[in-house]
């Protein structure tokens, strides 16, 4: 009997200890989930974009636009005069090239324009990725690499592309970084953005740098227009639709350009252009306002970036940064709530390892077990065996960060429309207004673009939003640059009939 009692007591003790462990584990687990939930709730609150706040952001954007047009350095917005006072009309004719340098890739493109009523007869392009070492190397190394790829592309010119004898090829150069332009085909680099940091190029004329590299390659080509990607998108949009008044690029980086009345630019000291208009490159990525909903993750991202204190709007809404914000939040939840186990997965600590295309794929995952989320966590971050509950947390984070970005982008567009007086009807006049949009973020992140367009309607109201049209200007920066090379050709008027 004694032995039996000991066995029973021992077994009971083991069971009790096991039960206590289970309870402790559950308490620990629920404590972890409570902490994870608290972090997400706080993020959601800090990222909040109620309509009142968005109106304040739109108003602040319009105010900064006025200040930037009044004087150089008068605003965080550079409001750069583009020297484009005549946008393409559809009558341009001939063979033109474009070089589009806007992020981690660049594209070289050629178009054959047919003239009035014929539009673009044929076009082709090639895309080349820039080695990481060239993004932080020297100016010569970067431009020599680009010129070599350009020469390869020109060498493959086919029968569909005809250059009249004795003529130089002409190129529109889309350069999507802040430049102080001094004419249609010259401009000095103010600063790099989007992960580039090449010190010896800052303060240099980027057209002269490219032309020098082209000449070294023995290529007979003239750079006839230097354009920002957003100015190119505006030109591409206007070529097919005369109602286009502004363009926005939402890609790796972000920017906006629009058509301003020349007499409304106090800092313009030259002769007023015949058209009365001037395209302004806003450089809206550097917009900053006390009304922007910033979190601790945005502050740390900014502090650790190559350009602390700069491009704050871009760091909230563009493709370069959205995935990184999600990674930073996940890292905090992993550290403080052990979301992925007792140790933080090493890959999760690597900055920019979670790219926005991965975030977009997870956000769009409609499978019942969130298989896409599981695979990306496993393949990109090396986090295996995640529960459905954890995967749902990841999707929720993607939604919070993308929603804030999309709604702020919409507020920015309303600010531009407000500046040009298109945010409300005047004297019952219902004029159609088109905003051309381009960029991989807008094109491929459907939840983002859908949210942005819905927010635009919410801000403008049903009646006004019916007359505001968002049009995807596909490859606007490439074709737009070629079109501006055509409208600023040295041979203009030679063969007009």
pLDDT at 29 (0 to 100):
63
Residue 398: other Cβ atoms inside 10 A: 29
Q: How do beta strands 433-438 and 244-250 pair?
A: parallel
pLDDT tens track for 238-289: 988 889 999 999 998 999 999 999 999 999 988 888 889 999 999 999 999 9
The enclosing H or E element of 144 equals: helix 139-154
Kindly report the backbone phi and psi dihedral angles of residue 489, in degrees, each rounded to the nearest multiple of 5, phi listed first.
-65, 145
**Beta-carbon contacts of residue 87 (< 8 Å; ≥ 6 apart):** 234, 235, 238, 239, 259, 279, 487
199 is catalytic: no
Which CA distances in Å does 270 have to 86, 120, 145, 278, 280?
A: 16, 34, 37, 12, 15
d(C-alpha 207, C-alpha 223), whole Å:
7
Which residues, given as ranges, of the chain have pLDDT below 50? 4-9, 11-27, 496-497
pLDDT at 8 (0 to 100):
44
pLDDT at 400 (0 to 100):
98
Which of 76, 194, 315, 418 is an active site residue? Answer: 194
d(C-alpha 212, C-alpha 209), whole Å:
5
Residue 222: other Cβ atoms inside 10 A: 18
pTM: 0.84
194 is catalytic: yes
Alpha-helix runs per DSSP H in 304-344? 312-317, 322-337
pLDDT at 429 (0 to 100):
67
Which of 100, 229, 358, 423 is an active site residue? Answer: 229
pLDDT at 55 (0 to 100):
98
Give me the residue label for tokens 């932080």.
136
């Amino acid at each position: 009997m004694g032995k039996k009692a000991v066995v029973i007591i021992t077994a009971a003790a083991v069971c009790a200890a096991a039960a206590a462990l289970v309870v402790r584990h559950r308490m620990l687990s629920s404590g972890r989930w409570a902490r994870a939930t608290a972090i997400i709730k706080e993020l959601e609150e800090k990222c909040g974009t109620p309509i009142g706040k968005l109106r304040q952001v739109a108003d602040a954007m319009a105010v900064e636009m006025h200040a930037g047009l009044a004087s150089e350095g008068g605003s965080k917005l550079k409001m750069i005069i583009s020297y484009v006072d005549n946008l393409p009309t559809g009558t341009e004719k001939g063979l033109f090239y474009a070089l589009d340098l806007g992020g981690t890739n660049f594209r070289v493109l050629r178009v054959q324009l047919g003239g009035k009523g014929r539009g673009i007869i044929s076009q082709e392009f090639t895309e080349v990725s820039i080695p990481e070492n060239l993004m932080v190397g020297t100016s010569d190394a970067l431009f020599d690499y680009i010129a070599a790829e350009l020469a390869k592309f020109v060498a493959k010119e086919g029968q569909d592309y005809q250059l009249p004898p004795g003529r130089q090829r002409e190129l529109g150069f889309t350069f999507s970084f802040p430049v102080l332009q001094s004419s249609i085909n010259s401009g000095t680099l103010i600063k790099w953005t989007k992960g580039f940091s090449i010190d010896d190029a800052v303060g240099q004329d980027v057209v002269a740098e490219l032309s020098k590299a082209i000449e070294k390659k023995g290529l007979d080509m003239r750079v006839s227009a230097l354009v920002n990607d957003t100015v190119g998108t505006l030109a591409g949009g206007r070529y097919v639709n005369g109602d286009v008044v502004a363009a926005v690029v939402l890609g790796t980086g972000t920017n906006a350009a629009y058509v301003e009345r020349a007499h409304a630019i106090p800092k313009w000291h030259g002769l007023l252009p015949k058209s009365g208009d001037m395209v302004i490159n806003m450089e809206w990525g550097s917009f900053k306002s006390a009304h922007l909903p910033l979190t601790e993750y945005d502050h740390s991202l900014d502090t650790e970036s190559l350009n602390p204190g700069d491009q704050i709007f871009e760091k909230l809404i563009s493709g370069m940064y959205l995935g990184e914000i999600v990674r930073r939040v996940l890292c905090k939840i992993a550290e403080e709530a052990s979301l992925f186990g007792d140790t933080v997965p090493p890959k999760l600590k690597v900055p920019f390892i979670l790219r926005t295309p991965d975030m977009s794929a997870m956000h769009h995952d409609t499978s019942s077990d969130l298989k896409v989320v599981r695979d990306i966590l496993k393949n990109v971050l090396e986090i295996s065996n995640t529960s459905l509950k954890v995967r749902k947390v990841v999707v929720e984070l993607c939604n919070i960060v993308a929603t804030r970005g999309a709604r702020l982008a919409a507020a920015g567009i309303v600010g531009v429309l407000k500046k040009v007086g298109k945010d409300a009807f005047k004297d019952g006049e219902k004029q159609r207004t088109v905003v051309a949009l381009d960029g991989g973020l807008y094109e491929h992140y459907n939840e983002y673009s859908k949210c942005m367009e819905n927010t635009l309607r919410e801000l403008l109201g049903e009646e006004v939003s019916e007359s505001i049209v968002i049009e995807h200007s596909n490859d606007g920066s490439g074709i737009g640059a070629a079109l501006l090379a055509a409208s600023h050709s040295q041979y203009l008027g030679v063969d007009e009939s």
